[in-house]
Amino acid sequence: MQMKVCLVGLDNLPVLAPEYRALAMGGETVQQTLLALALARHGHEVSMVVADQGQEDGARWHSIRVFKAFPLNAGIPVLRFIHPRWTGMWSALQRADADVYYTSCAGMQVGLIALFCWRHRRRFVFRTASDTDCDPSRVLLKHARDRWLYEQGLRRADAILVQSVSQANNMAQNYGLQSRVAGMLVEAPPVSAAVRDIELLWVSNIQHLKRPDRLLRIADCLPNVQIHMVGGPMPGQESIYTQIRDAAATRTNVVFHGRLSYWDTNALYDRAKLLVNTSDVEGFPNSYLQSWIRGVPVVTLLDPDRVIERNGLGAVARSPAELAGLVQSLLLDPAARQAASDRCRRFMAQEFGEEKIVSVYLETFQNLLQRRLDARVIPSSESPHA
């Protein structure tokens, strides 16, 4: 069954279109773009709704047709929720004219898309992007209006996908909603002859909950370890970005890159020996997948569904104080690091092949459309000719 699928992610353009690589992006922009490209390779008609960054409306990149919703900073505060945000979003969704609309990450857009799909009898699928998306007491939305819209959209979704079993359990416990685990996509790197000259790599948006300060403490504990740090500022958290950038500049063993494009960041993964994650909150980080597929073990505090511990894909710290010691241990033991690297590659080949991951999304979308078709069929006992 060929489908028309529209993915909604306002920040997706810089991953899909290299000429916009200077714009901000996050893990979900990568995931949505990889999913869109995979669906297109499977023969489906795929579109996106993104923010208006001055691009031509309806332009195509890699067979993906892109519709623009609204400029991110346009409009008068408070009133701009209606116009241009609500009106712009619905207009773009209408132009996409899809059978299934998909978005990820908690936000007001979840409610707007769900309401559009209810109004126009289309199907709506939501996928979580963080553990906080499954807990109303922790959801990362500042305004009560946005939290209300998110929950309303969640409850109107035709299907909910999550990143892990623990998220599925939390979604059921906290919202009373059933969900299905859907894996994440990762782009296989080209064969690379890059020298592994980055001992420790850190990749994330720089904001409080990602705890970049912990990386600087690791740098102080391990002054002979060369560390590369990648991340751009987040709206409303520019001050912490400035603080971390300036503090990193005082450490001779830290290279602070600031924001890099998806492609430039991948080049650093190719050179890394280890990835470290210092965050307090995650879902299933893209950075883990981008590391493991290149044979780069991960040292972290967060281990979704204990995947690192169970498969030997790095090391899990019980507290922030343990991070530096685990990093040092792996760097000083090349044999152990190589064994972990080999396990990372095998794990990714077995568990994260594109066909295996995409099948869950395809099955979910197709089941929803088949149910809609079945509902339109008049049972023979009710036929006007019976």
pLDDT in the model for residue 385: 39
Correct CATH for 198-351 of 3.90.25.10, 3.40.50.2000, 3.40.50.720, 3.90.1150.10: 3.40.50.2000
Per-residue burial over 47-79, b if 16 or more Cβ lie within 10 Å, else e, is bbbbbbeebeeeeebeebbbbbbbeeeebeeee
How many residues belong to the chain?
386
Please give the Cα distance from 165 to 210 (Å, whole number).
22
Residue 293: Cβ within 10 Å count? 19
Q: Nearest Cα to 3, choosing from 122, 95, 117, 120?
A: 122
Location of each CATH 3.40.50.2000 domain in the chain:
4-185+355-375, 198-351
Among the residues of the chain, which ranges form H helices?
A: 13-16, 27-41, 87-96, 108-120, 144-156, 165-175, 212-221, 238-249, 262-271, 286-292, 307-311, 323-331, 334-351, 354-376
228: which strand partners?
Answer: 201, 255
Please give the Cα distance from 93 to 90 (Å, whole number).
5
Residue 32 and residue 7 in contact, taking contact as beta carbons nearer than 8 Å: yes
Phi then psi for 237, rounded to 5 degrees? Answer: -125, 30
pTM of the model: 0.90
Instruction: Show the low-confidence residues of the chain (pLDDT under 70).
Output: 192-193, 376-386
Q: Which CATH architecture has domain 4-185+355-375?
A: 3-Layer(aba) Sandwich (3.40)
Q: Nearest Cα to 104, choosing from 96, 95, 113?
A: 113
Please give the Cα distance from 114 to 136 (Å, whole number).
18
Residue 174 and residue 134 in contact, taking contact as beta carbons nearer than 8 Å: yes
For residue 293, the Cα-to-chain-centroid distance in whole angstroms is 17
Please give the Cα distance from 157 to 159 (Å, whole number).
5
What's the token pair of residue 107? 């936000």
